[in-house]
Amino acid sequence: MKIYVPRDAAARGLGADDVAVAIVTEAAKHGVTVDLVRNGSRGMVWLEPLVEVATDAGRMAFGPMTPADVPALFGDLAAHPKALGQTDALPWMAKQTRLTFARVGVIDPLSLADYEAHGGLAGLRRALTMDSASIVAEVTESGLRGRGGAGFPTGIKWKTVAEAKADRKYIVCNADEGDSGTFADRMLMEGDPFTLIEGMAIAGIGTGATKGFVYLRSEYPDAIEVMTAAVEIARKAGVLGASVLGSGKAFDMEIRTGAGAYVCGEETSLLNSLEGKRGIVRAKPPLPALQGFMGKPTVVNNVISLATVPVIFERGAAFYKDFGLGRSRGTIPLQIAGNVKHGGLFEVAFGLTLGEIVDVIGGGTASGRPVKAVQVGGPLGAYFPRSLFDTPFGYEEFGAKEGLIGHAGLVIFDDSADMLKQARFAMEFCAIESCGKCTPCRIGAVRGVETVDRIAKGDAGAIPLLTDLCNTMKSGSLCALGGFTPYPVMSALTHFPDDFAPAMKEAAE
Ligand SMILES: Cc1cc2nc3c(=O)[nH]c(=O)nc-3n(C[C@H](O)[C@H](O)[C@H](O)COP(=O)(O)O)c2cc1C
Ligand code: SF4
């Protein structure tokens, strides 16, 4: 009997380990030999721990499971009270286009054989037959843009590094994943670590970098454990090392742990931290692509950007580019969180409207109350009201509405949310997390909290002051922490004026 119990941190947090122990105990009682696979999560967090049993009719899902539900797994499966049916046929799964996450939840994360049996390493093998320029051209042609937040074309970044002359070059994977409500990087690393390793190896071969680092946040102990083990396995198997898959081309990598600061996700701050310095933002230029880690040309890419590279090489740039909307090509792993009925990871081509994501896929709020706002793109993202729910999910489409998609995290709020408090929180977050290098952010965020407090007390004169302050932070900050904090603040003020009402009323008088 083959049974899958996720080893994903969210599933473990919800009791997956206890369920796994109960399965082993119960199997022994029944004299049944169980092949227990600790897989990644399928992304349906509200059903975790989601247990799957392999049957002739495919994998059957059961959840959310508790140890008390385990004995019935050894009886009539169809009659199990937690039976959900075939995993792949569940609406949440059937509606997705899983390219980057195709193997997550399906395979044993630390089995290289399982990885290869599901298409793994095909992309790297193909890349090894290509020269550097063709590898970079393939990435450019795919239309892939950085999934860390800025949406910068990955091919252009790789081209800059590939064409730079230097004795050493580096690939740095940004796995700091600091945005509120996001977990795609973590899920990928815990559920399919070899995909990230393969993507980094292709990046190295394509740009002439022989060394890579994954900068992984310390708050992700499970991901650190899985990634560290996977690198070791890949090295032993010759996927990493002096001759990648026997090609004669070298690429190796290490996992490094960050100490935990939101600003250390900003690429130049991350590089400082990786070099053992304080995580403070560097002025650009020079670009990290020309002078990055240790002053050498460095590709800094998000986990999802790099983990999407293998499928692009396996299926071809044209295949990947065919999905999407406008200049947002391919698929995006949406992370649906907050006050939502069905939260989790949903990978789909760009282009669904915000309303479809929140109401149809997410199923509305968990509280059952009306949705008031959705913050898209992490703590620096704008709050979208229901009147903007027709916005299609794409970089330009959200930009046109004074928002951003960032790392594709969506945090949903019901009508009990106070948007003035949310605006204050944005300023407070910026004040706490500011690296302190530039004045608009270091001082502006502190003044921002004070100004929102004045509005809360009914001081209408503080509203134009807050708008002014936001404009200064937007145009004068050195990086997006100070530069984008105005998005949540101004969207709260613009779309939810009633929450700033006492002051608004005074201003009208
Ligand atoms: C304050 C701040 C925090 C950031 N945090 C992250 C992060 O946690 N992960 C990430 O990939 N990018 C983060 N970024 C974006 C990075 O600076 C950079 O654009 C990204 O790593 C580039 O990779 P990509 O092109 O693949 O997106 C952050 C940016 C800022 C300004
Ligand atoms: S905007 Fe804030 S975090 Fe960014 S460099 Fe300036 S002080 Fe540092």
- For helices 419-433 and 486-495, give the axis angle rounded to 10 degrees: 170
pLDDT in tens, 429-445: 999 999 999 999 999 99
Q: What is the pLDDT of residue 460?
A: 86
Residue among 273, 380, 435, 485 whose CB has most ligand 2 atoms within 8 A, to mutate = 435
Instruction: Tell me the CA–centroid distance for residue 476 and ligand 2, in Å.
Output: 10
188 CB within 6 A, ligand 1: no
Instruction: Tell me the CA–centroid distance for residue 478 and ligand 1, in Å.
Output: 14
Residue among 174, 264, 303 whose CB has most ligand 1 atoms within 8 A, to mutate = 174
3-state helix/strand/coil string of 48-66: CCCEEEEECCEEEEECCCC
Instruction: Tell me the CA–centroid distance for residue 433 and ligand 2, in Å.
Output: 9
273 CB within 6 A, ligand 1: no
148 CB within 6 A, ligand 1: yes
481 CB within 6 A, ligand 1: yes
Instruction: Tell me the CA–centroid distance for residue 178 and ligand 1, in Å.
Output: 9
Atom of ligand 1 nearest to the CA of 176: 8
pLDDT in tens, 448-483: 999 999 999 999 899 999 999 999 999 999 999 999
267 CB within 6 A, ligand 1: yes
Model confidence at 260, pLDDT cuts 50, 70, 90, reads: confident
CA distance 450 to 87: 51
- Give the CA distances from residue 479 to residues 89, 178, 196, 270, 465, in Å, rounded to whole numbers and listed in that order: 44, 15, 27, 13, 22
Q: Per-residue pLDDT for 84 more than 90?
A: yes
Q: What is the pLDDT of residue 109?
A: 98
CA distance 40 to 248: 33
Instruction: Tell me the CA–centroid distance for residue 204 and ligand 2, in Å.
Output: 30
178 CB within 6 A, ligand 1: yes
Q: Do 148 and 301 contact (CB within 8 A), yes or no? A: yes
Atom of ligand 2 nearest to the CA of 436: 7
- Classify 364 as helix, strand or coil: coil
Q: Per-residue pLDDT for 502 more than 70?
A: no
CA distance 364 to 99: 26
CA distance 244 to 248: 7
Average pLDDT value over all residues in the chain: 97
Q: Which protein residue has the closest C-alpha to ligand 1 atom 31?
A: 480
Q: What is the pLDDT of residue 320?
A: 98
- Mean pLDDT across 56-66: 97
Alpha helices in 38-153, H assignment, sequence order: 91-94, 112-117, 122-127, 132-142
Model confidence at 503, pLDDT cuts 50, 70, 90, reads: low
CA distance 409 to 400: 18
Model confidence at 259, pLDDT cuts 50, 70, 90, reads: confident
Residue entry with tokens 């994501």: 357
Give which of 277, 272, 271, 265 is closest to 303, Cα–Cα.
265
Is this model's pTM higher than 0.95 or not? yes
Model confidence at 501, pLDDT cuts 50, 70, 90, reads: confident
Q: What is the pLDDT of residue 166?
A: 98
- Mean pLDDT across 162-180: 97
- Mean pLDDT across 147-154: 96
- Mean pLDDT across 126-142: 98
Q: Per-residue pLDDT for 371 more than 60?
A: yes
Instruction: Tell me the CA–centroid distance for residue 269 and ligand 2, in Å.
Output: 10
Q: Per-residue pLDDT for 509 more than 80?
A: no
pLDDT in tens, 217-231: 999 999 999 999 999
Q: Which protein residue has the closest C-alpha to ligand 1 atom 7?
A: 265
Instruction: Tell me the CA–centroid distance for residue 263 and ligand 2, in Å.
Output: 8
Residue entry with tokens 């928002």: 403
Instruction: Tell me the CA–centroid distance for residue 149 and ligand 1, in Å.
Output: 6
pLDDT in tens, 300-337: 999 999 999 999 999 999 999 999 999 999 999 999 99
Element (H, E) at 5: none
Instruction: Tell me the CA–centroid distance for residue 298 and ligand 1, in Å.
Output: 14
Q: Which protein residue has the closest C-alpha to ligand 1 atom 25?
A: 146
